[in-house]
A and B are shown apart, each in its own frame.
Chain A
Amino acid sequence: MQERKLKILLIEDSTDDTELIKRGLGKSEGGRFEVTAVSWLAEGLEQLSKDRPDLILSDLGLPDSHGLDTVTKILLQAPQIPLVVLSGYDDEAVAIKAVQAGAQDYLVKGKLEAFQLERSIFYSIERVRLQAELEQHTQQILNMQDNLHKILEKNADGIVVVGEDGRVLFANHTIEIMLDRGSRQLLNKPFAYPLYGEGVSEIEIERADKEPLIAEMSVVKIQWEGSPAYLASLRDITRRKGMEEELRVSEEKYRNIVELAQDGIMTVDMRGQVTSCNQAFLDMIGFSREDIIGKNFTKLPSVTPDKIPEYLKLFTTILNDGAAHPIEMTWKRVDGTTKVSELRVSAMKQDNRIIGLQALMIDITERKQAEAALRESEEKFSKAFHNSANLFAIADINDGKFIEVNESFVRLLGYSREEIIGRNATELNLWGSEEEHQNIVKLTRENDIVRDVQLKLRTRSGEIRTGLFSSQQITIGGRRCFMNTITDITGLKRAEESLRVSEEKFSKAFHNSPQVIVITKLEDGTIIETNETFLRLTGYTRAEVIGKKTIDIGIWVDAADRIEVMRLLKQDKIMTNKEYRYRMKNGDIRLWLFSGEVINIDGELCILSVTTDITDRKQMENELRFSDTVLKSLHEGVFALDNDFRITRWNETCEQILGIKAADAIGKITSEILEMVEEYPGQNTERINLLLEKGFNKEEQIYHTPRGNIWLDVHAQAIEANGKRQGWITLITDISERKKADEALKHSEEKYRQLINTSNDGIVSADAHMNFTVWNRGAEKLLGYKEDEMLGKSIMTIFPREHQKEVARELVQSKQADTCKIGNLVFETSGQKKDCTEVPIEVSMSTRYEADNFFITAIIRDITERKQAEEKMRKIDQMKSEFLSNVSHELRTPLQSISGFTKLIMNGQVEDAATQQEFFRIIDTETQHLGNLINSLLDMSRLEAGRFQIYRKPVQVRDTFIESIEMFHSLAKEKNITLKEEIPQDMPEMEIDNERMRQVVINLVGNAIKFSEPGGSVAVKAVKRKNDLLFQVIDRGPGITEEDLKHLFERFYRAEGETVRGGTGLGLYISKQIVEAHGGRIWAESKYGEGSTFSFTLPLNGKGGKENDK
C-alpha cells in the first residue's frame, strides 16, 4: 500500500533555506513529503486555515514575526499540529524556549542533515499522536467511572460501599430512603449493620418515627478507589415478610382448632393414604401418630378387614355424588378393646374438585351400648306385645283408630289385622255395651291411665267376651296414643309383670343416651330426672341436681333464656333446636342445642329436654368467619389457588379489581376466568414454568377481565407445608392508573421525539455528567453518529480535540453565569463528524438546573454555507482592497513620469532640445496609459451597474486583430520575445464593436507578453470554423495553476505571484464581458510550467449574445 504523503507547511523567509529544506526532504525515500512553503507568518496562518498539514516547520525570525511570538501565534491557531522550529546558531536559546512553549522540536539551520530533519518530523508527529491517544484513553476511563457511578446512584436497590474500617464510602439515593438518613449522616460514619464477608442475609432496620424495615442484604467484596471494600446491596422485603407471617398465624389457628376438637378428625388423600389426624383421633384408636400418617387407610392396624368393602363403598359413594352418609365403624384399639364411632365422611375440595376425604369420628361406644340395651328391651316388649295371651291394642287418642294390635287381639276378635288397623272400635262394632263404651270414653278422657275396668267385647262372629280393660296414654313418635290392654281376669298378673320389665329397659335407654336428657317441672324447673350424659358433661353428681331447681344450680347463663323456654313451651308444647348457653360446674360456659317437649308425668306437666353440646362446632365456625373477614379487609386483592391453579379463596378486593364475584371465581381454574396478555406467543407457558420452578413470581402484567384490560402488579407465592407445595397465594394490585400515566408520558415523549427527529437542525440534550441523553436525526445527518452510538457518550465526542477546551470554557461560563435557573448561550465552533472530518457549527445552548443537577439542551446548526458565504465575502473584500491598492499604484506610476518630467522641464533642468522632445513623448504616452486605465475602471463600474453596452458595426475582423497586435511588436522586441501571428486572409466581415474587440485582443496579447520571460514566444492564431471564429493567444510562460484557472475571469482576481507584476485584475473580467456580449465564449487552458492558451470564439451569424448587445 502506498503511504499517504506527509503534508509539511514550511514557513521560512529565506528562499535559500526553503530550497535547502525542500531538497533535503525531497531526498527521502519515495518522496514521502509534500511541502508547501510560505515566507510570511500571515501566509502560513492563512494556509493553516485552508489546509491542515501534518507538521509545521517554521523559522523563528520572519518578516512579520520574531522569536517566541512566532511560536505562540502558530500554537494559538493550530495547537494540535506538531511544530518544529528552525533556528540559527545564535538563537538556539530561543529555540529551546520555543520547545518549552509547546513546539515539538527545533533544528539548527546550517547544522541540518537530511536524516535529522526527517527523524525530527516523524518523531514530532508520533509524539503528538501518542499524546492525543493518551488523552483519549484518560477520557474513556473517566466516562466508564461516570457510568458505574450512575448505575450505583440510580439503582432501585439500596447500595452502600463500606471500607475495611467499617466506614461508609458511598451511599446511593435508595439506601438513604431505606435507612431514613441523608448522605451526610451516612458518609464516613460507621455502617450500622454487620457485613459478614460475602453472602446474603436478612437485616431489620430500625428507623426513627417510621416502621422498621426488613431488608435482604447481599454483600460482595470489591475494590473501591484502590482499596478493598464491601459493596452491600439492600432490598426491601418488609411486605413479603408481613404476608408470610399473617399466613402462618392463620394456619396455626386452624391447626389448633383441629387439635382441640373432641371428635376424631382424619384426612385421607385420593390414594387412600392418611395425610393428617388430630389428637382426639389418636386417643380414640390408641395408636401413635407415626403408626397412622402416610399409611393406607385400609392397612391401619385398627381397621377390621371384614369392614373394608363397606368403607370402600362409602368412599366411592362420596366421591361419586358427594353425599355424606354417616356409618358406624368399629375400631380395634391397641389394648385389644374395641370402640365404636360414627364416621362422617365428606369430600375435601379445592376449587370444586375433590382432593381427598376428611373423616369426623364421634365416639359412640356408649351410645351404642345404650342403643343395644334399648333394642333388647324393645325386642322383649315387642315379643311380649305380640306373644301375650292378653289382647293389646294401640289406638289414636283423637279418633280411637287402631294403630297396632297383637296376635291375641286378632285371634280373639276374629278380624284380620288388615281389617282392624285404621279403624276404631265403634267402626268394628266391638263394643259389647254402649253404656260401657261411654263409661270408658269418659274414664280415658279424665285419666291418663285407666286400670282394670270390666267390659264386654263383640267378636266378628258376634260372640261377647268379657275382659279387664286398662288404658294408658303414650306418645309414639310424637303421636299421642292409647295403649289398651284387655286381659282375661286370670291372666292379669302376667301382663303387669311384663310392663314393669319394659319400663326398666326404657329407663336404661334414657340414661345411656349420648344426648343430654333432662326432665324438669314446667312450673319451677325442679329437676326430676337427668341422664348420665348430663352428669358427665356438667360435672355434677346426681345428688347435686335431682330435686334442685335449674335456676338455683345456676345452669342457665342467662335466666331470661329459661323464661323464654317456659313461654315457648307453654305456647307450643314443643320446641326444637334452639341455642342456649349453659354453665358447667367448673364454670365453663358451653353452648347447647336445645329441644324440649311438655309431657305429663303422673298428672304433672314436665319438660322433657334433649340437648346436644355444640360449643366446639360453633367455635370452629367463628374461626372460619374470622379468617374470611381478614381476607376481606385486605386492600390488596388476594386469591388462593391449589396446585392445579384452581381458585380456593377470592377476597372482596379481588372482586372489585377484576370485576369477578367470588361465587363465579371459586372452583374455577384461573385461566378460565382470567387471561394474562402475552407480549409474545408462549410467554404464559414460560411464566407458568418459571413460577413452578421458582415458587414465586412478581411481575407487572396485563389481564383481560370483564372490566377490560387491567394492569396488575401480581405477586404469586407458593404455600408450602412439610416441604410439599400446597397451592398458591396471589396478591394483586391494580396499577392501571399508573400505567396509563406512564403510557401518556411515553406518548407525549414520543411526540416530542418525533418533533425533534423531524428537525433538520441537530437537537441534543445532555445530563449532569455531560453525557448525551437526546440525539435526533438532524444531529445524525449533521455529524454522522447514530442515536444509539451517542446516548451516554460525552458531549466532547463531537468536538475536535482543539475545540474541546473552548467548549468546556463556554460550559463553565454558562454554569457560573447561572444565577437564574436558565442560561442561554450561542457560539460558533467546529464539530467533528464520525468520519473525523470537521464541520463548522453554531451551537445554541440552553442550560438549566433541576434538583441541583446541570442539564443542557442544544441546537446544532451546520453553518458551512454561511461560513463559505462569509469566506467569499471576505475574499471579495480582500480583492477589493487589493484592487484599490493596485489601482492606486497603477495610477501613481504614470503620474510620477508625467509630473516628474513636467517639473524638470518647467524648472529648466532640461536644456537639450532632443531630450525635451523625448520627455514630452514620454509624458504623452504615460498620459494615454493613464487614460486607458481610467477607461478600464469606467468599464468595470459600468459592468457593475449593468450599463455596459456594445455598439456593432460591420468590420473586417482581420484588420481589427492585426492592428491590435501591431502595437506589441516593439515591446516584444525590447523584451526579446518572438511574437508570431497566424491570421489567414479569408477572415470574414463581421458585425462587432470594433473598439471593444481591440480591447480584448490587446488584453490577451499584452498579458502573454507580460508573463513571458525574455527569449520566450507568443503566437496569435485565428481560424474560421463552421459556425464561429476561433481566436487564440499561445504563450510559453510560467503557466497557470489549476486553482487560478477556475477564478481567472473573476473581477479583481489576480493569480498568485501576479501581485508583483501590477495590473488591476480587471482585464480578463472585462474581456469576458465583451466576448459574451458578442455571443461568444472565452476560456483559458494551461499546463503549469509549460505555458497557457487563451481562446475566445465569435459566432459567425453575428447576432446573439446578451441583452447588452445593441
Chain B
Amino acid sequence: MTNKILVIEDDPATSRLVDYSLRHAGYDVITSSNGLEGIRKARTEGPDLVILDVMLPGIDGFEICHRLKSEPNTARLPILMFSAKAQEIDRDTGIKVGADDYLTKPADPAEIVNRVAKLLAKKSPQGAPPKERVSG
C-alpha cells in the first residue's frame, strides 16, 4: 500500500514543491493550507505521516502537532515539522510538542524525501521504504 503523506503548508509554492517531490518519490500526497483543515484531514484521510509548516494562519504548527499527539487516533502519526523558523528554540519547541523530526527551510527536496522515508521506517520497521517498493 502506498504511504499517504499529508502536507500542511500555507505557502502555495512550497506546497507545490513538496507535493511534487513526494509524488515523484512514489508517495500519495494530500495538502492543506490551514491548520483546522489540516487537523480534520489528519483525522479523516488516514495519512501515514504529516509534514507540518509552523507559521500558519489561525492555529500554528506547534499547536497542530500538540493536538494531533494528544488525540489517541493520531498520537502515533509521525510528524515532520518543516519550517522557516530556524532558531534552536523553535526546534526545541517542536520536539517538545511531540514532533518526530524537524527540518529547516530551505531544504533540498531530496532531503525532505529522505527524512520522510526514515520516519516511516521507524514507524514500521518491518515495512520496506515505499520508493523501493514502487520502483521494485
Residues of chain B with a CB closer than 8 A to A900's CB? 14, 17, 21, 106-109
Tell whether, in the assembled complex, residue A896 and residue B58 are in contact, meaning their CB atoms are under 8 Å apart.
no
Query: Is B1 an interface residue when CB atoms closer than 8 A count as contact?
Result: no
Q: Output the residue of B14, B96, B107, B110 with the most chain A CB within 10 A.
A: B14
A897 and B11 form a contact (CB under 8 A)? yes
Alpha-carbon gap, A926 to B84, bound state (A): 15
Contact of A897 among B17, B58, B108 (CB under 8 A): B17
B73 to chain A, nearest CB (A): 16
Pairwise interchain contact A892-B17, C-beta atoms closer than 8 A = no
By beta carbon, the residue of chain A nearest B21 is A904
Contacts A904-B17, A922-B13, A926-B13; is A893 near B58 (CB within 8 Å)?
Answer: no
A633 on interface, CB distance cutoff 8 Å: no
- Sorting the interface of chain B by its residue count into under 10, 10 to 19, 20 to 34 or 35 or more gives 20 to 34
- State whether A903 and B110 are in contact (beta carbons under 8 Å apart), knowing that A896-B14, A897-B17, A909-B24 are contacts in the complex: yes
Near B by CB (< 8 A), chain A positions 1004-1061 give 1059-1061
Contacting pair B84 A893 (CB below 8 A): yes
User: How distant is the Cα of A64 from the Cα of B55 in the complex, in angstroms?
Assistant: 19
| A1062 is an interface residue with CB less than 8 A from chain B | yes
**B93 in contact (CB, < 8 A):** yes
Q: Is the CB of A896 within 8 A of B105?
A: yes
**Is B17's CB under 8 angstroms from A63's CB?**
no
Contact B55 A1062 (CB under 8 A): yes
Could you tell me the distance between the alpha carbons of A669 and B83 in the complex, rounded to whole angstroms?
Answer: 109
Instruction: Contacts A895-B106, A922-B13 given; indicate if A885 touches B93 (C-beta within 8 A).
Output: no
- Which of chain B's residues have a CB closer than 8 A to the CB of A185? none
Of all chain B residues, the one with the shortest Cβ separation from A891 is B84
Q: Considering the chains assembled together, what is the distance between the CA atoms of A922 and B84 in angstroms? A: 18
Q: Does A894 contact B (CB under 8 A)?
A: yes
Q: Which B-chain residue is minimally distant from A14 (CB atoms)? A: B70
Q: If the complex has contacts A63-B96, A1060-B58, are A892 and B105 also in contact, measured as CB distance less than 8 A?
A: yes
Known contacts being A63-B62, A1060-B58, is A901 close to B105, with CB within 8 Å? no
Q: How many residues in A have their beta carbons less than 8 Å from beta carbons of B? A: 31
Question: Do B55 and A897 touch (CB < 8 A)?
Answer: no
CB-based contact A896/B85 at 8 Å: no
A154 at the interface (CB under 8 A from B): no
Which B residues contact A (CB, under 8 angstroms)? 11, 13-14, 16-17, 20-21, 24, 55-58, 60, 62, 66, 83-87, 93, 96-97, 104-110
Given contacts A900-B108, A901-B17, A1062-B55, 19 further A-B contacts (CB under 8 A): A63-B62, A64-B96, A885-B87, A888-B86, A889-B83, A893-B84, A893-B105, A897-B13, A897-B16, A899-B108, A900-B17, A900-B106, A903-B110, A904-B21, A907-B110, A915-B20, A925-B13, A926-B13, A1060-B57
Q: Roughly how many angstroms separate A926 CA and B14 CA in the complex, as a whole number?
A: 10
Q: Is A13 an interface residue (CB 8 A)?
A: yes
User: With contacts A895-B106, A896-B14, A896-B107 known, is A904 near B20, CB below 8 A?
Assistant: yes
A 879-892 to B, binary, CB cutoff 8 A, 1 in contact else 0: 00000010011111
Chain A residues within an 8 Å CB radius of B97 = 63
Q: How many whole Å from A1008's CB to the nearest CB in chain B?
A: 15
A892 to chain B, nearest CB (A): 4
Task: Point out the residues of chain B lying under 8 angstroms from A909, CB to CB.
Answer: 21, 24, 109
Inter-chain contacts of B56 with A (CB < 8 A): 1060
- Residues of B within 8 Å of A895, CB to CB, are 105-106
A922 to B14, CA, bound (A): 10
Contacts of A907 in B (CB 8 A): 110
Q: Report the Cα distance A892→B104, complex, angstroms.
A: 9
| B-contact 0/1 string along A527-551, CB 8 Å cutoff | 0000000000000000000000000
Q: Please measure, in the bound complex, the distance between the C-alpha atom of A900 and the C-alpha atom of B84, giving whole angstroms.
A: 14
Q: Which residues of B contact A904 (CB under 8 A)?
A: 17, 20-21, 24, 109
Q: How far is the CA of A926 from the CA of B57 in the complex (A)?
A: 20
Question: Is the Cβ of B109 less than 8 Å from the Cβ of A903?
Answer: yes
- Complex interface: chain A residues within 8 A of B86 (CB): 888-889, 892
Interface residues of A (CB under 8 A from B): 13, 63-64, 885, 888-901, 903-904, 907, 909-910, 915, 922, 925-926, 1059-1062
Are A888 and B24 neighbours in the complex by a CB distance under 8 Å?
no
- Per the bound structure, the CA–CA distance linking A900 and B14 in Å amounts to 8
Q: Which residues of A contact B83 (CB under 8 A)?
A: 889
Whether A903 pairs with B108 at a CB distance below 8 angstroms is yes
The docked-state distance in angstroms from the alpha carbon of A1043 to that of B70 is 34
Q: Which of chain B's residues has its CB closest to A910's CB?
A: B20
User: B residues within 8 A CB of A1061?
Assistant: 55, 57
Question: 10 closest Cβ contacts across the A-B interface?
Answer: A892-B84, A897-B13, A896-B106, A889-B84, A896-B105, A900-B17, A895-B106, A892-B105, A1060-B60, A899-B106
A888 touches B108 (CB 8 A): no
Query: Residues of B contacting A885 with CB < 8 Å?
Result: 85, 87
Chain A residues whose C-beta falls within 8 Å of the C-beta of B106 in the assembled complex = 892, 895-896, 898-900
Name the CB-closest residue of B to A881.
B87
Which of A13, A897, A909 gathers most chain B CB within 10 Å? Answer: A897
Q: Do A889 and B85 touch across chains, with their CB atoms under 8 A apart?
A: yes
Chain B residues with CB below 8 A from A894, complex form: 13
By the criterion CB–CB under 8 Å, are A922 and B16 in contact?
yes
Closest Cβ–Cβ distance, residue A159 to chain B (whole Å): 68
The distance in angstroms between the C-alpha atoms of A771 and B107, with both chains bound, is 68
By a CB distance below 8 angstroms, the chain B residues around A915 are 20
Bound-complex Cα distance A235 to B56 (A): 88
Q: How far is the CA of A13 from the CA of B41 in the complex (A)?
A: 22
Task: State A430–B11 Cα separation when bound (angstroms).
Answer: 184
Identity of the chain A residue whose Cβ is nearest the Cβ of B53 in the assembled complex: A893
Taken together as a complex, chains A and B put the C-alpha atoms of A885 and B104 apart, in Å, by 13
* A889: min CB distance to chain B, Å: 4
Give the Cβ gap from B93 to chain A, nearest Cβ, in Å.
7
Instruction: Give the CA-CA distance A520 to B29 in the complex, in Å.
Output: 172
Task: Compute how far the CA of A899 lies from the CA of B58 in the bound complex, rounded to whole angstroms.
Answer: 28
| Chain B residue contacts of A910, Cβ below 8 A | 20
Partner of B84, one of A64, A896, A898: A896
What's the least CB distance linking A913 to chain B, in Å? 15
- A1060 to B20 Cα, complex, angstroms: 25
Distance of A38 Cα from B57 Cα, bound (Å): 18
Using Cβ atoms and an 8 Å threshold, which residues of chain A touch B108? 899-900, 903
Residues of B contacting A892 with CB < 8 Å?
Answer: 84, 86, 104-106
Contacts of A925 in B (CB 8 A): 13
| A residues less than 8 Å from B66 (CB atoms) | 13, 63
Highest count of chain B CB atoms <10 Å: which of A885, A893, A898, A899: A893
A457 to chain B, nearest CB (A): 170
The smallest beta-carbon distance between B109 and chain A, in angstroms, is 5
Give min CB distance, B90 to chain A, whole Å.
Answer: 8
Min CB distance A712 to B, Å, is 83
* Nearest-neighbor residue (CB-CB) of A904 within chain B: B109
A897 and B14 form a contact (CB under 8 A): yes
A1060/B55 in contact, CB under 8 A = yes
- Whether A889 lies near B55 (C-beta < 8 A) is yes
- CA of A64 to CA of B104 in the docked complex: distance in angstroms? 22
Bound form: Cα–Cα A897–B17 in Å: 7
B129 to chain A, nearest CB (A): 17
B62 to chain A, nearest CB (A): 7
| Alpha-carbon distance A897/B58, docked complex (angstroms) | 23
Interfacial chain B residues near A898, Cβ < 8 Å: 106
What is the CB-to-nearest-CB distance from A906 to chain B, in angstroms, rounded to a whole number?
11
Taking CB atoms, residues of chain A closer than 8 Å to B110 are: 903, 907
A101→B93 CA distance, assembly (Å): 28
Residues of chain B with a CB closer than 8 A to A13's CB: 66
**A896 contacts across to B, CB distance below 8 A:** 11, 13-14, 17, 84, 105-107
Docked pose: A910 CA to B60 CA in angstroms = 32
Task: List chain A residues, Cβ under 8 A from B84.
Answer: 888-893, 896
Q: Which residues on B sit within 8 Å (CB–CB) of A901?
A: 13, 17
B104 to chain A: which residues have CB within 8 Å? 892
What chain A residues lie within 8 Å of B93 (beta carbons)?
63
> Chain A residues near B107 (CB, 8 Å)?
896, 900
- Complex alpha-carbon distance, A885 and B85, angstroms: 7
In the complex, what distance in Å separates the CA atom of A896 from the CA atom of B18?
Answer: 10
Min CB gap A970→B, angstroms: 12
